[in-house]
Structure 1
Amino acid sequence: MQKDQLLFTRRRALLAGAVAAGAAGTAGVLAAGAGNEPARPPSPVAGPPARRPLRPSAYRLQPMTGFGPPRAAPVRTPVRSAPLLRVSGRGRTMVLTFDDGPDPRYTPAVLDTLARYDVRAMFFVCGQMADENRDLLVRMADEGHVVGNHTWSHPLLTRLRRDRIRAEMARTSDLVEEVCGERPEWFRAPYGAWNRAAFQLGAELGMEPLAWTVDTLDWTTPGTRTIVHRVENGAAPGVVVLSHDAGGDRSQSVRALRRYLPRLLDSGYYITVPRRHSV
């Protein structure tokens, strides 16, 4: 009997303690919610801070440079000791070149004739002329012609210091790149006067030196018939023909082109522009 009374007394004590703890907790909650300020939520459980969502960034869209096939080293232009005079190609291939332009009096007529027969040519431009006639430079490039470097002011390179030669070449290449989007891959020395510095600097600027095989001497205004005869008499596979579309009265050059171009095509010649690997 005493044992049962003892167990009953312990149960009453435990029950009384639980009631007291519950009352204290309720009082604490009510006390925290009393007054003007709203009740604060319980503090978060301690732990590492939550990460912010990653935002897309430009660098994540770029491929990693450490992967992928290695880039090929740029091919260096060889330094030659003489200019190229002919071009290689299949069949009866010829190249027509025009120097000193562009000139708004004659270059458009030359371009019109070439377009009529769907023929591509090379134009070795002088920077000064090209800068004043950028629309013609754009037309040359748009119609598939090759724009070459003929220096800025057409000086005699053999009388210039090395830094002047470089300036003449580089300034023209910069202009061609600005207007056409690509730098010239070919250059021609004014008057055909080459020296070692011209070959070296041209190669440093990524250009091959191209001269000519047939000189029409049109700058001497020998007459339209004479110009035509010189081109047709010198026609042969790989021939490079030199004419001018600026630098003086070039009306004979324009008329001669209109005569000899269709005759060359009818004779089976393929008039085209050279590629660097085919020279």
Structure 2
Amino acid sequence: MNKKISLVIIIIVILSILTIKYTQRRSRFTFGNSYAQVIKKGTKEEKIIALTFDDGPHPDFTPKILDILKEYDVKATFFILGQHGQMYPDILKRQVEEGHEIGNHTFSHINIKKTPEEKIREEFYKTQEVIYSITNTEPRLFRPPYGIYNDLAINLANENNCSIVLWTPHQDSKDWGNPEVEEIIDTTVSKIENGDIILFHDYIYDEKSNTIEALEYIIPELKNRGYKFVTMSELIDLSVKQVSH
């Protein structure tokens, strides 16, 4: 009798562990559920990677980046600041027209953990409205500045059917500080893995962006290695399919 009870307990424990693990895996990728996803990486089963750019659009740097992406037929995801979108609507329109995806990065790059709730909501919704009014598309991706988020950010994403998108930890190019071209290349290329979300910035406070020159090497190099560049929504969709199989 005791052996039977012990066996039942063991089975229950195993099933509970498997259920938790499955739920955790799906929670990273399931769109439109009752919780916000916090995504740092896509599926490892396919050679896909996502280029993401923060803080733009920039009047000089962003068009040059778009030219490079167009040259190599690569689609990317741009997490814009609402204030910059207002200033450069034509660039925002071009991004969408050329097949890139737009995400919300707040209006003025606030630190969510140091900002009152009312201000956070204002920053989020102002940016949603800027993007929609210019592109006629409603953003479903939200990247909190500095990668910092809390329960309020998750609730805000839930309320708007958005996914919270961060980046793969080893793929932070730190290009906001405008390091040397070789450093940006090495950070990205030397550590690349399937499903990586790479963090770049198309807006920096400098006269020249070394990211632009670095991309001229990074994109063809990774293509030669067999990687496919996808938008964040494509990465999420492919990851969902892998999890559900």
- TM-score, normalised relative to structure 1: 0.70
The one-letter code matched in structure 1 to 2:192 is: A
Counterpart pick for 2:90 among 132, 135, 140: 135
Matched, 1:255 2:221: no
- Cross-structure match for 2:75: 120
2: CA distance, partners of 1:192 / 1:111: 24
1:90 Cα offset (Å)? 5.8
Matched, 1:274 2:239: no
Q: Is the 8 A contact 1:155 1:190 kept in 2?
A: yes
The one-letter code matched in structure 2 to 1:248 is: Y
2: CA distance, partners of 1:211 / 1:231: 16
The one-letter code matched in structure 2 to 1:240 is: I
1: CA distance, partners of 2:228 / 2:175: 22
Matched, 1:237 2:205: no
Instruction: Summarize deviations over 1:174-225 as a string: whole Å, max 9, x none.
Output: 1111111111010101011111101111221221000001100111222000
Alignment of 1:84-163 (within 5 A): 84-88=39-43, 91-163=46-118
- Cross-structure match for 1:78: 34
1:95 Cα offset (Å)? 0.3
**Over alpha carbons, which structure has the higher Rg?**
1
Count of paired positions: 204
1:115 Cα offset (Å)? 0.2
SS in structure 1 of the partner of residue 41 of structure 2: coil
Deviates more, 1:85-94 or 1:103-112: 85-94
2: CA distance, partners of 1:197 / 1:245: 27
Q: Is the 8 A contact 2:61 2:202 kept in 1?
A: yes
2: CA distance, partners of 1:100 / 1:208: 18
SS in structure 2 of the partner of residue 144 of structure 1: coil
Q: Is the 8 A contact 1:169 1:202 kept in 2?
A: no
- Cross-structure match for 1:226: 183
Query: How high is the sequence identity, in percent, across the aligned residues?
Result: 32
Q: Is the 8 A contact 2:32 2:162 kept in 1?
A: no
Structure 1 residues 278, 167: closer, same or farther in 2, change over 3 A? farther
Runs of at least 5 residues in structure 1 that lack an aligned partner in the other structure? 1-74
1:105 Cα offset (Å)? 1.5
The one-letter code matched in structure 2 to 1:78 is: S
Matched, 1:206 2:161: yes
1:76 Cα offset (Å)? 4.3
1:85 Cα offset (Å)? 0.3
The one-letter code matched in structure 1 to 2:35 is: V
Aligned-pair Cα RMSD in Å = 1.6
1: CA distance, partners of 2:200 / 2:229: 15
- Cross-structure match for 2:3: none
- TM-score, normalised relative to structure 2: 0.79
- Cross-structure match for 1:54: none
Could you say which structure has the greater relative contact order, defined with CA pairs below 8 angstroms and 6 or more residues apart?
2
- Cross-structure match for 1:40: none
